[in-house]
Amino acid sequence: MAEISLGDAIGSGFGLIRRRPLAVLIWGGLQTAFLLGFFALMAPMYEMMFTQMAGQAATGAPATPNPALLANVMQFQGLSILLQFVGLFVNAVLYCAVFRAVIHPDRNRFASMRLGMTELLVFVLVFGELIIFSIALILIALVIGLVIGLLSTLHVAAITTLVGLALGILVLWGLIYVAVRLSAVGPMMVDDGKVHLLDAWALTKGRAGQMFLMGLCVFVILFVMVIVVEIVIVALFMGVGFTAFSAGGSQAAASLFKQNPAMLLSKLLPVMIFAGVLAVPIYGATLAIMGAPWARAYLDLRHNPAEAF
């Protein structure tokens, strides 16, 4: 039976960073550019809504529906949903690039990124899976709520708590199991450009435990990275805050955030540029560390497809 080399799979992201640093920076730059674009498009709408709410509060007007404010909120929500679709497609392109860099290292033009049917299909499948999982969670939550409600009428609080906890753990385990069994879909599609839902389910048969352990290790690694990065960022911003306190005291620091949003944005622009530059390698490394292990695990299983099926 083909086996997954857990050590090689978990470390494959770091190996990819070492071999393809420029591609990793390009991936991180694309994701950072999208997030900056998202902020640039949404910031004026945020400013408009906050200005309208502040004006309404300043006049002491009663809390009645404001047609202009409601229109801006609806426009804000519509644009936000549209940008989330774009973000999902950008992520599909980036993860396909990570898979391709591992599965087909010779196809390294344009940082292994493509805009083709494979990326579109991955986007559609991920979107479909999100809808199915959301509907499943709602239905499961209704069933669990009904069971707990019936048990609560019997006035057995301890049993109700235990049953609710057990059902929650069972649902979580089921969702993780399905996600792990289908985790090879993306790498398989990048490999040959075909949809492989049933094939991916068959390929991962008997390996769910290994793949779950691999995903857990990757999660722990990323969690530690996030903690370290947050410590560094907090230390930097504390340094900026200390400078503000020493320069003008706490009143100067507080008055900074009472200014006009446009003026505040201009003053914080250097910090935002620094954060954007710092985000590029962080996002790129995160994509490589999260995506590469699943492609490497697929390669390990693909080496003996006869036994895998």
Closest Cα to residue 117, out of 178, 42, 192?
Answer: 192
- Non-local (6+) Cβ contacts of 119 within 8 A are 89, 92, 93, 96
DSSP 8-state code for residue 193:
S
98, 185 in Cβ contact below 8 A?
A: no
Q: Kindly report the pTM of this predicted structure.
A: 0.79
pLDDT for 28 equals 94
DSSP 8-state code for residue 251:
H
How open is the CA angle 148-130-289, to the nearest 5 degrees?
A: 110
pLDDT for 50 equals 63
Average pLDDT over residues 280-294: 94
Calpha distance 80→88 (Å, rounded): 12
Write the DSSP assignment of 59-88 as a string of letters: TT--S---HHHHHHHHHHHHHHHHHHHHHH
* Helix residue spans in the chain (DSSP H): 6-19, 21-58, 67-103, 117-152, 157-181, 185-192, 197-203, 208-256, 261-302, 305-308
Q: Please report, for residues 4, 140, 141, 288, the alpha-carbon distance to residue 134 in angstroms, rounded to integers and kept in the order given.
A: 30, 10, 10, 27
Average pLDDT over residues 46-56: 62
94, 113 in Cβ contact below 8 A?
A: yes
For 268, other C-beta atoms within 10 Å of its C-beta total 14
- Non-local (6+) Cβ contacts of 307 within 8 A are 1, 2
pLDDT for 22 equals 95
Q: Chain-centre distance of CA 270, in angstroms?
A: 26
Kindly tell me if the per-residue pLDDT of 69 is higher than 80.
Answer: no
- Token output for 44: 């004026």
Calpha distance 212→215 (Å, rounded): 5
Choose the weakest-confidence range: 20-34, 59-73, 94-108, 270-284: 59-73
- Token output for 287: 């994509």
Q: How far apart, in Å, do the first and last CA atoms of the chain sit?
A: 10
How open is the CA angle 76-82-87, to the nearest 5 degrees?
A: 120
Closest Cα to residue 55, out of 85, 255, 47?
Answer: 47
Closest Cα to residue 96, out of 115, 119, 117?
Answer: 119
pLDDT for 305 equals 44
The SS3 call for residue 235 is: helix
80, 269 in Cβ contact below 8 A?
A: no
pLDDT for 250 equals 46
Calpha distance 191→298 (Å, rounded): 10
Give the model's confidence band at 309: pLDDT under 50 very low, under 70 low, under 90 confident, else very high.
very low
pLDDT for 100 equals 95
